[in-house]
Structure 1
Amino acid sequence: MRALIVLLAVLNLGVTAWWLFRPDAAPVATVDDAPSGIARLQLVSERPDLQPPANAAPPPPAVAVDTAATIATPAERCYSIGPFSDPAAMAAAQGALRPAALRLRTRTVQRDSGRGWRVFLPAAPDRATADAAAARLRAAGFTDLLIVADGAEANSVALGRFSTEARARQHAQTLVAAGFQARAESLGEARNSGWIDVAAKADFDAAAARRSSGVAEARSIDCATIR
């Protein structure tokens, strides 16, 4: 027991001596003690040269972009203005429209007389030739025909009357395909009408142009048709 007490006393003395005479701890490296050649990281707030001047103006506020306003508008719009039955009136309207036009053209179209259309074979030199043509037509299945006996159209072969140009021309084309020299023609005096096709900027007032020209229509058309 005495020996144990002596051992404990010696241990306590050893621990006390180590505590009193231990070497100082190695200093902990700081950022300033970093190896040479390696830049130290710095916050922007630690760099005086990067701070804005005290009297610097604040950044401008963000501007909202209106996407609807940025959509491009058509560069041009195109119209067909008419019909003109008087060439002088058409020429006057053309002169009035030209300053506002990017491109402009005039054209003449044949209007239906209102009496319909007919399909026929032109007059033959004599009745025998007309009869032979009629026989060939019947053999080909075209039985709705009439040989004109007298007048300016004598010895021609009438092949039907139609209310519209489209139907008359379709029938004439069928006859031509079968080998006959058929024609489609408007009944009565043919009437021509003039139109002015104009390509203008998007703000062009087509209604006002129509009124000043004294015509009935100002139709929107494809600009690609005006060269």
Structure 2
Amino acid sequence: MLARSLIVLLVVLNAGVAIWWLARGDAAPVPAETALPGGVARLQLVGEAGPAAEAAPPPTPAPPPVAAADEPPAPDGASAAPPAPVADASPAPDAAALQCYALGPFTDAGKLAAAQRALQPRVARLHVREAPSTTRADWRVWLPPQADRAAAQALVERIVAAGFSDYYIIASGEQANSIALGLYGSEASARRRQSALRAAGFTDVQAEAVGDAPPATRWIDVASNAPLAAADGRALGAGRVEPLDCAGVPATPATAAR
């Protein structure tokens, strides 16, 4: 009797389990997804990745923060540094317009001072410089002294036979028995005479300046806002007006001559 009751109980329990199993269904409940902040991708398990996940576009990056129009005030004890000044690379208008000239040569101190006084109100800078003279007024061509008068006369005959004239035998003094072959007003003319005589075989012929060297000349260098012409130089007593590099004119204001 007890065994029969146990069998009936087991059948009832098995039937109940079978009914419960059929009633629950195959799909498990899907948990609701939690909303994520923008730009944050949902974490997926390896088994969850599928075609839909691969086709999903990448998250859109958040836009960069926009700077505020007004800068926040500096903290206490700190002062904002002022903006650095921008250097103006353009030249000063006066310096860009300057034109420089050399007026001269002046050999007379009075004419030089008068030209300075006339130029002083017209120019921005004025400087007087001295230029030593490199030219001589007269040049002579000559042959050194010979052993005696007879030797000098024999040499003169050779010179005449070579087609040259304008000779003179010095009779006395330190240069006695030397032969003068001409006096010339420029070095170029004297050098040409010397070259011709040497080409004819008179290799000892010399050319040299005579007399004292001319005095040094002076020039007025100016930096002017207006151009100067040759006529302006002549009016001031200067024989020439030559363009000049402004770097050669000292950066000092023009001063009146005394």
For normalisation by structure 1, the TM-score amounts to 0.46
Which has the greater radius of gyration? 2
Normalized per residue, the structure richer in helix is 1
